[in-house]
Chain A
């Protein structure tokens, strides 16, 4: 049971002057309970990939399979796939519409014909998962703070209990504490056996969160592997479309000067090692 993307290609507006190759041959596997990050710059095709994972876009060639169901199989399969794979768009707070938080949360479950009694219970459970108190239920979603809105949108997608969650830049436009809090909460999902696909342009976030990283550049895979091996690669040679996070830039500079410091994203650890190095 997993999402399997095999040699996926997608061309927008084929046969017109606007024809663009968004993806050319991408492979990816997402297992339940795993955090996979897709990293790339604007225009690398990462949002296009995200929409393939829940059948909003269909492959020009290649295949996308969710737990053995191909998105190109039949129209009924599309809804199955969308039920299994929750997709949270960039700036999801633009999709809020309901009169109350409860109604907003119930939108998904009702679309999938959940039991009315179940809805309230799942709603409260899911909201707790994302740190939203029960008191918010009767409030208008438009009255919430920015961070709360973002978490509500993610919760509303999670309310239908998908097996996979695709997040397109979930922390876009958030401040550092809000970002840390949200990612901490999302990390909890992995423990619930949900497979998370995290689309981001921020390599540092990906390195810190993911168990596997796919790097896209102009629709092509330039790297696929664990954060550790990606860091090793980055030390050896620059990867197209990626620049080192500031802290790794610093480490690499220090190493050039002969300090034996490890590649780490943890500033405290780096400081400790550096102190030791300087003493000796």
Chain B
């Protein structure tokens, strides 16, 4: 019996692929470009082109397509909801009417477009976390945000916070699982009764969890202090990021692909 299933959103799948080997900064910037491109897609042909690109990317980064699709599971409800809203609330030529609800031809188009756009956003963004380890990711973000440090943006602290948070997600899942079992063993009934009762039933799980989180935070702070951590200034790193020629190629390639897709879309 498993009480908690680990999140699939934001999971890293280690593999040896050209995409995995890219500099995290290159991947972050490419994803930003791709997402901007997806926001602009309108024409059905563009959707097909993006879909093919998705398949290609999955092949190229040695991530099974099934895993890529799984990453979008948590947002399915959001996608369906958005599509539903557009389906019913877009004005135009009425196709079908039922009471106050009406479906228009434009609505169907809009629903498809928005639904696919959202799914593609999540799927493409998923490649970033699927092919980049959390460590690399936060290193990349830190490095990209460093120029803003002079305006008072705490780039290093943000990256450190992110690393710590990501590091502790699995730990806390395990802790929650253990506390859950302990309270079940004491007769806690978590899946009966109304929503209010059920929420109340979770108090015996949440309180110990918070206690443990604070305890862990304190221990971690002490351990970091004991190792003379003083923030980002003057801190060197074991694996400094290195921008390689392949990264420039990948970046240029992404730019060209997005440009072609967008132009194709505008032309069609």
Cβ contact of A94, chosen from B186, B187, B189, B208, cutoff 8 A: B208
Cβ contact of A89, chosen from B178, B188, B207, cutoff 8 A: B178
Contact A92 B182 (CB under 8 A): yes
Question: Separation in Å of the A157 CB from the closest CB of chain B?
Answer: 6
Contact B182 A89 (CB under 8 A): yes
Contact A94 B188 (CB under 8 A): no
A80 and B97 CA atoms in complex are apart in Å by 54
Cβ contact of A54, chosen from B178, B185, B188, B189, cutoff 8 A: B185
Question: Separation in Å of the B87 CB from the closest CB of chain A?
Answer: 38
Question: Separation in Å of the B70 CB from the closest CB of chain A?
Answer: 13
Contacts of B205 in A (CB 8 A): 97
With A57-B1, A58-B1, A94-B179 given, is the CB distance from A82 to B185 under 8 Å?
Answer: yes
B74-114 contact mask (Cβ, 8 Å, vs A): 1 or 0:
00000000000000000000000000000000000000000
Judge whether A86 is part of the interface by a CB distance below 8 angstroms: yes
A95 and B175 CA atoms in complex are apart in Å by 10
Judge whether A259 is part of the interface by a CB distance below 8 angstroms: no
Judge whether B167 is part of the interface by a CB distance below 8 angstroms: no
Judge whether B11 is part of the interface by a CB distance below 8 angstroms: no
Judge whether A215 is part of the interface by a CB distance below 8 angstroms: no
8 A Cβ contacts from B189-217 to A: 189, 203-208, 211-212
Question: Separation in Å of the B267 CB from the closest CB of chain A?
Answer: 46
Across the interface, name the chain B residue whose C-beta is closest to A13. Answer: B2
Cβ contact of B186, chosen from A51, A57, A157, cutoff 8 A: A157
Judge whether A126 is part of the interface by a CB distance below 8 angstroms: no
- Chain B interface mostly helix, strand, loop or mixed? helix
Contact B1 A157 (CB under 8 A): no
Judge whether B183 is part of the interface by a CB distance below 8 angstroms: yes
Count of interface residues, chain B, beta-carbon cutoff 8 Å = 21
Question: Separation in Å of the A166 CB from the closest CB of chain B?
Answer: 9
Judge whether A115 is part of the interface by a CB distance below 8 angstroms: no
Judge whether B181 is part of the interface by a CB distance below 8 angstroms: yes
Question: Separation in Å of the A167 CB from the closest CB of chain B?
Answer: 12
Cβ contact of A87, chosen from B175, B185, B188, cutoff 8 A: B185
Cβ contact of A56, chosen from B175, B181, B212, cutoff 8 A: B181
8 A Cβ contacts from A69-112 to B: 79, 82-83, 86-87, 89, 92, 94-98, 107-108, 111-112
Contacts of A95 in B (CB 8 A): 179, 182-183, 186, 204, 208
8 A Cβ contacts from A4-57 to B: 51, 54, 56-57
Contact B204 A107 (CB under 8 A): yes
Question: Separation in Å of the A233 CB from the closest CB of chain B?
Answer: 33
Contact B185 A89 (CB under 8 A): yes
A111 and B185 CA atoms in complex are apart in Å by 11
Across the interface, name the chain A residue whose C-beta is closest to B185. Answer: A87
A202 and B122 CA atoms in complex are apart in Å by 51
Contacts of B204 in A (CB 8 A): 95, 97-98, 107
With A89-B185, A108-B186, A111-B186 given, is the CB distance from A94 to B1 under 8 Å?
Answer: no
Contact B187 A108 (CB under 8 A): yes
Contact A97 B207 (CB under 8 A): yes
A82 and B189 CA atoms in complex are apart in Å by 11
Cβ contact of A157, chosen from B179, B184, B185, cutoff 8 A: B185
Cβ contact of A112, chosen from B181, B187, B212, cutoff 8 A: B187
With A107-B186, A112-B187, A157-B186 given, is the CB distance from A94 to B181 under 8 Å?
Answer: no
Judge whether A156 is part of the interface by a CB distance below 8 angstroms: yes
Contacts of B178 in A (CB 8 A): 89, 94
Contacts of A86 in B (CB 8 A): 185
Contact A142 B211 (CB under 8 A): yes
A157 and B1 CA atoms in complex are apart in Å by 22
**Top 3 A-B pairs, shortest CB-CB distance:** A111-B187, A97-B207, A87-B185
A-B contact pairs, 12 of them (CB 8 A): A57-B1, A82-B187, A86-B185, A94-B212, A95-B183, A95-B186, A96-B208, A97-B206, A97-B207, A97-B211, A107-B188, A142-B211
Known A89-B181, A97-B204; 7 more pairs at CB < 8 Å: A51-B181, A56-B184, A94-B178, A94-B208, A97-B208, A111-B186, A157-B186
